[in-house]
Amino acid sequence: MTGALWSSAEAAAATGGVASHPFAATGVSIDTRSLAAGDLFVALNDTRDGHDFVTDAFRMGAAAAMVSADPPGLGSDRPLLRVGDTLDGLRGLGRAARERSAATVIGVTGSVGKTSTKEALAAALGAQGQTHAASASYNNHIGVPLTLARMPPASQFAVIEIGMNHPGEIAPLAQLARPHVAVITTVEAVHIEFFADEEGIADEKAAIMAGLEPGGAVVLNRDNRHFERLAAAAHAYGVGRVLSFGTDERADVRLRAWSTEGWSTRAHITLLGRELELVLATPGVHAAQNACAVLAAVFAAGASPEAALPALAALVPPPGRGRRRPIVLADGEALLLDDSYNASPPSVRAALAVLADAPGVRRIAVLGDMRELGARGEEEHRGLAGPILAARIDHVFCCGPLMRHLYDALPAGLRGGYAPDSAALLPIVRLAVRPGDVVLVKGSLGSRMGPLADALAGESKGGKS
């Protein structure tokens, strides 16, 4: 980035804070592990107190630090932006960044597929104008204001992911982001722990419309069983433009036909009478559906769906999100489908459907616990037995207390092995894998399936394998 993102005067005005010295920050950081020289370091009081890291931040070249108390021992020449509350301060930066921007903003929420859709939108719009989007899944009360605070003033498009775990979280984030286009990818029983039912989740997703700019559009999934409820919510929120996507013949952006060839997907899409041929380097109908949401949002944002197609074709899945990696064995190679970053019932079903069509000698699923399902955990895990049978999978390996319920529900012939955690499961899987196998690894981040996938692929984050 060239030029300042935040001058001390702008940052003080945005936060209601007082700058001890003038400064010009080229970025915003909340974590010294990823801080870049020139950043404004925001000392948040989160899992750790960021004020303990202010000295480190300056050592790493921070331009200034936003604090609610002066860190002891800090040189008096260090530029501080003193505020009452640093999270409020970060929100102030986010709000001001949004206000000074002329960008067309797209907000993305939904039970599954937010980050995939955000990445695809960033690529599709990035091919057509300067586009700002977070590099990761920054979708909560910290991630959303941080992403906005980092938005360069010259951005023409911005894509903001908005997530939630609890009722009431989406509306304030949407009101900060003020999207011109809101996308609800789908509504499923994910993060259901704090909700009575799926309808409650649908209503929470609908709350993204509380932040929609006047004249804005909402993009809804026509195939989702909550479509009518969301369309009614759009009416209630006074949203005049609803664009729907999906395989349903009434969809505005309709997925008419698709086929998976090897590891890519071809789709024929009709967008309000325009015929589009889509190629994706990602297998699975869910990827084609996400692409339909992207094309609808691109259209609603006033950009070109046709110009988005080459950018979508060039997308490759990020690490741990369905990326393919070789497993080198003494006598040949197997293929790892590394989807270890995240798991929920709909995403495991989508991954199993991909595995079903995978070109391999044997199809193997290695599954860790899906978290945040509350009281439905056992039932949701057991419920994967059906999709596993339908996908003609040869062997299933499971780890974690919840996956035990699935493992016990599987026919004996499918059971490859069980262990309490991923570290203990690794040697069991290693012994079983043979050349030509396709091995899906999937689980919630907390199930630590990532290290298992890295070890299978012969790499560990520590450098040795």
Ligand X SMILES: Nc1ncnc2c1ncn2[C@@H]1O[C@H](COP(=O)(O)OP(=O)(O)O)[C@@H](O)[C@H]1O
The CB-of-202 to ligand X minimum distance in angstroms stands at 15
The CB-of-260 to ligand X minimum distance in angstroms stands at 14
Answer whether 183's CB lies under 8 Å from 110's CB. Answer: yes
Taking contact as CB under 5 A, which single stretch among the options 16-24, 107-115, 232-240, 324-332 is the one that binds Mg ion? Answer: 107-115
**Pick from 114, 180, 442, 448: which binds Mg ion (CB under 5 A)?**
114
List 27's β-bridge partners, or say none.
Answer: 39
The CB-of-61 to Mg ion minimum distance in angstroms stands at 30
**Between 328 and 347, how does the x/- string for binding to ligand X read (CB under 6 A)?**
-----------x--x---xx
The CB-of-60 to ligand X minimum distance in angstroms stands at 29
**Pick from 186, 224, 244, 422: which binds ligand X (CB under 6 A)?**
186
DSSP assignment letter at 346: H
Taking contact as CB under 6 A, which single stretch among the options 49-57, 108-116, 123-131, 165-173 is the one that binds ligand X? Answer: 108-116
- Nearest CA to 336 among 350, 349, 319, 348? 319
The CB-of-163 to ligand X minimum distance in angstroms stands at 7
Edge-first strand listing for the sheet containing 80-82: 18-19, 80-82, 64-67, 39-42, 27-29
User: Which of the choices ligand X, Mg ion, none does residue 112 contact, using the CB cut-off of 5 to 8 A by kind?
Assistant: ligand X
252 binds ligand X (CB under 6 A): no
* CA gap 33, 393 in Å, rounded: 41
CA separation, residue 406 to residues 365, 366, 382, 412, 440 (Å): 12, 12, 4, 12, 16
**Pick from 120, 182, 350, 399: which binds ligand X (CB under 6 A)?**
350
* CA gap 410, 429 in Å, rounded: 17
289 binds ligand X (CB under 6 A): yes
Q: Between 351 and 355, whose beta carbon lies closer to ligand X?
A: 351
Q: Which residues of 182-218 are buried (b: 16+ CB within 10 A; e: fewer)?
A: bbbbbbbbbbbebbeebeebbbbbbbbbebbeeebbb
* CA gap 328, 325 in Å, rounded: 10
**Pick from 321, 324, 362, 434: which binds ligand X (CB under 6 A)?**
321
Radius of gyration (C-alpha) of the chain in whole angstroms: 23
The CB-of-282 to ligand X minimum distance in angstroms stands at 8
Answer whether 125's CB lies under 8 Å from 157's CB. Answer: yes
* CA gap 400, 381 in Å, rounded: 11
- Nearest CA to 321 among 342, 291, 305, 335? 342
Q: Angle, to 10 degrees, between the axis of helix 86-100 and the axis of helix 170-177? A: 40
113 binds ligand X (CB under 6 A): yes
**Pick from 137, 140, 175, 270: which binds Mg ion (CB under 5 A)?**
137
Q: Between 115 and 265, whose beta carbon lies closer to ligand X?
A: 115
265 binds ligand X (CB under 6 A): no
* CA gap 432, 43 in Å, rounded: 48
Taking contact as CB under 5 A, which single stretch among the options 97-105, 113-121, 382-390, 425-433 is the one that binds Mg ion? Answer: 113-121
Residues in the interface with Mg ion (CB under 5 A) total 3
The CB-of-186 to ligand X minimum distance in angstroms stands at 6
286 binds ligand X (CB under 6 A): yes
What does the binding site for ligand X look like in residue numbers (CB under 6 A)?
A: 110, 112-116, 137, 185-186, 286, 289-290, 321-322, 339, 342, 346-347, 350-351
What does the binding site for Mg ion look like in residue numbers (CB under 5 A)?
A: 114-115, 137
